[in-house]
């Protein structure tokens, strides 16, 4: 399969690249990879797909959100996650559908905060919950046998030093476990699924 990996240079992206290395991979991210892309810019996403050519799968491990106490949250802070992680991935699907071969697939990234909440996580919860609903709804309308799923991990073992204090009592998972979920989505037959871990 020819697979576009968006966010390939990040912690999760590197693990997904390793897990899917038996396939032909095209890597994309903001600052490295085969193609540069800015998830906040629909034009940049369109140009990425034009450069990548026909694809069998698109996987995304990228997307930013903001963390702030609700009392300090603002419209601008909310737009971080909405414009980047949420609409960036929605636009990947809207544009990418035209570039996927019949029976292709999308695998997006959401996260545990879509259904299990923490202090300062309102923006991430809004975005992750919306992405999970988008995946389930889009699955019933995508044409030509195209599938869509989302990987929804908790905090990663590899990120505990930085993010651990924000996730008290959460059991971390190795990033390799999340990469396996991407493989399940890409190489399997399921659609409309949110793989929680």
Query: Tens digits of per-residue pLDDT, 61-75?
Result: 999 999 999 999 999
**What's the pLDDT score for residue 121?**
97
pLDDT digits (tens, 9 = 90+) for 88-120: 999 999 999 999 999 999 999 999 999 999 999
CATH of span 2-196: 3.40.50.720
pLDDT attached to residue 170: 97
**Residue 133: partners with Cβ closer than 8 Å, 6 or more residues away:** none
pLDDT band at 157 (very low <50, low <70, confident <90, very high): very high
Chain-centroid distance, C-alpha 26: 16
Contact, 88 vs 46, CB < 8 A?
A: no
Give φ, ψ of 107 to 5 degrees.
-130, 115
């Amino acid at each position: 399969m020819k697979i576009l990996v968006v966010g390939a240079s990040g912690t999760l992206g590197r693990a997904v690249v390793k897990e899917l290395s038996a396939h032909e991979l095209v890597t994309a991210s903001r600052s490295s990879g085969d193609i540069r892309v800015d998830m906040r810019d629909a034009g940049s996403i369109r140009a990425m797909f034009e450069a990548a050519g026909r694809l069998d799968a698109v996987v995304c491990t990228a997307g930013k959100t903001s963390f702030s106490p609700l009392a300090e949250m603002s419209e601008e802070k909310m737009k971080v996650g909405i414009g980047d992680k949420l609409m960036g991935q929605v636009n990947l699907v809207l544009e990418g559908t035209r570039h996927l071969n019949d029976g292709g697939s999308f695998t997006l990234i959401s996260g545990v905060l879509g259904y299990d909440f923490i202090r300062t996580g309102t923006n991430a919860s809004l975005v992750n919950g919306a992405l999970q609903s988008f995946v389930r709804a889009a699955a019933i309308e995508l044409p030509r046998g195209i599938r869509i799923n989302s990987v929804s991990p908790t905090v990663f073992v590899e990120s505990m030093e930085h993010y651990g204090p924000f996730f008290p009592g959460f059991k971390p998972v190795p990033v390799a476990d999340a990469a396996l979920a991407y493989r399940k989505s890409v190489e399997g037959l399921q659609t409309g699924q949110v793989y929680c871990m």
